[in-house]
A and B are shown apart, each in its own frame.
Chain A
Amino acid sequence: MAKEYTFHDMTRRRLLGAAGMGGLSLLTAPAFAQRMIDLHATGGPGTRPLTDDFPQKRAMVLQRTSPPWLETPFDTFDKGVFTPNDQHFVSWHWADFPSEPDLDSYRLTVRGHVNQPLSLTIHEILNDFPRIELAAVAQCAGNSRIYMQPRVAGAQWANGSMSNALWTGIPLKAVLDRAGVKAGALQVRFGGMDKVILPESPAFLKSIDIDHARDGEVMLAFGMNGEQLPLLNGFPLKLVVPGWCAVYWIKMLSDIEVLDQPDTNYWTARGYRLPNTPFGNVKPGDSNFKLIPVTRNVPRSFITNIRSGDTIKTGAPTEARGIAFGGDCGVAKVDLSLDGGKNWLPTQLGKDEGKYSFRQWQTRFALPARGDYDLMIRCTNTKGEAQPAFPIWNPAGYMSNTIETTHVSAA
């Protein structure tokens, strides 16, 4: 308990200290210092401040001040399938990124194993290429890590390091075609305007295979829900890799390098590794597995209008709704169980905004008698993959997609 007290106390002091730094912060400091959110985690601090202190963001769950880790508060997901830009989650690896990126001097370089290296201005990016638009969920590979048992180190995300947006941009393929990819190209590596703090540290770079890069869907996005990107989500340009973990979605994208050798940089070759087992699941202490890179998303679903601990009127028609996504393909169906997974009942799916988007589901149910119930929600994607019922665990806390359970009682 003493630990908890210290945590609250410190947080308040620090945030009040930080409030002196900008006009925005001063306006909101007195209110946000008091607002804490309970993530219902055990084995470590379970509460976080809700902060208005970051530019273009409001009421974000403060996981880390610097480099910013800001989580979307869960109630946002009940309001619609598109996450508002000012509540789209934020995650940076290195703190040194520009807070005033200069658009006049900005250039996107395309280099490496190409016939014609490019150096593109914002004007050229906006005007010289075909545009595409698609809805896609950005989700950190470590989303829901705070709920893994036993707990593991890393960003202590609850369920809010995921957000959905309608992205506007240009196909990466069009840019690569203009540069002319040479035969023998293997991968394409992406880097942003963020810089390492110490010169020896590994710059944050990620690569994807050349065929993936040229699939016509991977895009360079300058628009997010019809607006330019918020700074913290990667203004002015962000790589969008639909259906893949957000670690690939390089922010403040400034460099594209076509490689004819496999990428050996830390973040591609060694970081973000998951056991090569079904669902990436292993037992704590096990070590007889191979590690593979995290890549595509897997199906997930959530109830957004009923919380654990809620009381529901016995026999009364009750609405349940929420969101689901298929991972790297669409949602085929979402089923609800009222009895801890013994029986499953279909739900109705909302408007299809595209296979990479959140999709709303909704139904009505009644709890037949007084007592405790475990409501469960399960997404099956269009490849036939369903969320598993067992708790997923791995040493780095990646790719959790266990069926979510909401404990309620009928009275």
Chain B
Amino acid sequence: MAEQIHIEPGGDKPNQDVFAETLQRLAASDRNVIAVTSDSRGSGKLVPFGKQFPQQIVEVGIAEQNLVGVAAGLGSCGKKVFAVSPACFLTARSLEQIKNDICYSNHPVTVVGISAGVSYGALGSTHHSLHDFAVLRAINNITIVAPADNFETEKATELAAASGTPVYLRFGKKIMPALKAKNNDSFVFGKGRIITEGNDVAIIANGETVYPAVQAGALLKEQNIEATVVSMHTIKPLDTVLIESLARKCKAIVTVEEHSIYGGLGEAVASFLMQLKSPSTGGVWGGSFKIIGIPDEYTVTGSQIEIFNHYGISKEGIASEVLKLIQQ
């Protein structure tokens, strides 16, 4: 099948499992690597980490504000800290600690939001994080990253540990197939990863929505529509160079994210495009644009996949939005 061209068969684990394995590897050679948890080591897949490095894990109990404050304190003493908790609690309840104690004070803490987006499915809105990109984007001094596959996850975890600055990593629970990128599979923060290339439409996605975006690209190819599919893993700083080049060649751009349509990847891209001057006319970009995500309503109840399908975060849903845009 066409769609397999750019998806490595056998890509195989949930990203948060790969995060935990990578952290464990890093901790083995660096005793300053510290995980901080809030009764969250099970969901963060850090039980083996805790067994192997009991001196490198700090448990604070169910207390996410304390989690982030403690992480900031550890970070201020030269530790490379990973504060790991469900994204929903971590980026809402502890937001002030993230803003003041990590970002404003510039401490080397990686805030790791697990089971992000609607990964928790039928547990409902208290457990969904559809606001995290939006709130964190508005805070100065934090790199925001939602890796798409195991490869991106491993690289992002390594880069975060080495960065010495505030980073937000966002992971889900779903098994993510390996994506085979066109541009030599390099990974740096702030540079989108091009999975497929085409001149008709650009589909810019991140996190667990990149996979259905790639599938949508394959579906569109069957109808002779060539799509560039990008894993825009870093939402801040945004790869505006890449977006500009996509805008120059494609007449339609679609963004996809497991987030509110407000304040996330889509609006970040839109904001850039609206301010982009066309070199020939001096006017704004003239293409058509669509944000796919979770609309501003009580999120439909159900599993992650049911929620995705409901809101068109699926290969069919994305492909049909692209067709609508192109036929406009």
- Asked whether A and B interact, the reply is no
Which B residues contact A (CB, under 8 angstroms)?
none
Which A residues contact B (CB, under 8 angstroms)?
none
